[in-house]
Amino acid sequence: MGKIYFLAVAAFCVMFAACGDDITEIHQDGVSVLAKGEKLSKQVCDSTNVGELLFVTDSSEVFFCDGESWGRLKGADGKDGKDGANGKNGADGKDGKDGKNGADGKDGKDGANGKNGADGEDGEDGESLIAYPGVMGHFIDNRDGHVYKTVVIGTQTWMAENLNYAYTGVPYNYSDSTSDSTSWCYDNKPDNCTKYGRLYTWAAAIDSVALAKDPKKPQFCGFGADKCVLPTVVRGVCPEGWRLPSDDEWKALITAVGKTDIAGKMLKSADGWNDNKESSGNGLDAYGFSALPAGSRGYDGKYNNAGDIALFWSASEHSGLAGFLDLYYDFNFANLLTGPKYSAHSVRCLKD
């Protein structure tokens, strides 16, 4: 196209060399003429006259409309302009070099698109969306073949999801409420076990049956027991090689993720929590602990607060009450509290 315009301009200039009279506005073969004294800046260049050639009598120069502005056409400059013919930015340059710069600008945009594509691949990975400072892993519970995620936080290795082992064969009988088990899915729906893991009474969490059957030092720690002498390490309902964490071990986790007033935000999962008025109840899940709001089960068999709270049993006992870690959608802190043993909470196991 550059050569065609140049030839047309050359012929046009020859034609007007023979003419001495001023010409106000002539259209000849797509070429317009600007008479002496008329300003190029006053001439329209837009989508209605893209490609129009305009000869300026005052300077004996020819300009080309690219749909936005007038660009000067010269023989040598026209050749350089061919390098940036793909970009309008190139046409805006006063010479061929400016046109090349315009083409470089387009290459830069292509590079940015390539980076976005790489980000998309990271999104498909899922687990790589959050760069956890701890080491992530997996292990298999040989009792039922269930595979659990794990995470190292500080000096501790934790399960990165709630325990979902069915503690069966031990019936529940408290007040007027009975059940054939002491572990449950929230609302008795199996899908909630898949989502949240199971809810356990404290007696089930410490495996009071195994403690009572201990041939060396049997302990009665079930319902009705005001206090029992627990071993230093309580495996409880956890898989072999893992244990139910004590209050001190929960405190070590809180310290490792910051401090009490922000630990809840650090430990809560990044989704699944109910909103707090106009703000989200979700956490940052900054360490990969992924605490889910599994709710709880009361002594009467009623399920409460899924989406609002995460309660995790401790192996520590306090004058007939049991310790547990409390995370709430409405707060950023983490609390160690005590409560009745007949409630059913979640279990997170700590590696021996």
Distance CA 85, CA 178 (A): 82
pLDDT at 160: 97
Distance CA 43, CA 39 (A): 7
Comparing CA positions, the residue from 352, 290, 349 lying closest to residue 314 is: 349
Full-model pTM: 0.61
Residues 281, 218 share a domain: yes
pLDDT digits 0-9 by tens, 50-100: 778 888 888 878 887 888 888 886 544 434 434 444 545 545 545 545 545
Q: Which domain holds residue 35?
A: 2-105
Residues 180, 83 share a domain: no
pLDDT at 293: 98
Q: How many domains does the chain have?
A: 2
Residue 75 lies inside a defined structural domain of this protein: yes
pLDDT digits 0-9 by tens, 171-223: 555 555 555 567 899 999 999 999 999 999 898 999 888 787 777 777 777 66
Residue 279 lies inside a defined structural domain of this protein: yes
Confidence grade of residue 103 (pLDDT, cut at 50, 70, 90): low
Of residues 121 and 166, more confidently modeled: 166
Residue 27 lies inside a defined structural domain of this protein: yes
Look at 177-186, 239-248, 260-269, 333-342 and tell me which has the smallest mean pLDDT: 177-186
Confidence grade of residue 22 (pLDDT, cut at 50, 70, 90): very low
Domain boundary, last residue among 105, 122, 154? 105
- On average, the pLDDT of the chain sits at 77
pLDDT at 270: 95
Domain boundary, last residue among 105, 126, 150? 105
Asked if 318 and 302 touch (Cβ cutoff 8 Å), the reply is no
Residues 272, 143 share a domain: yes
Residues 167, 58 share a domain: no
pLDDT at 349: 98
Residue 110 lies inside a defined structural domain of this protein: no
Residues 143, 61 share a domain: no
pLDDT digits 0-9 by tens, 124-163: 444 433 446 667 899 999 999 999 999 999 999 999 999 9
pLDDT at 106: 55
Residue 154 lies inside a defined structural domain of this protein: yes
Domain boundary, last residue among 50, 82, 105? 105
Residues 211, 98 share a domain: no
Residues 303, 345 share a domain: yes
Residues 214, 81 share a domain: no
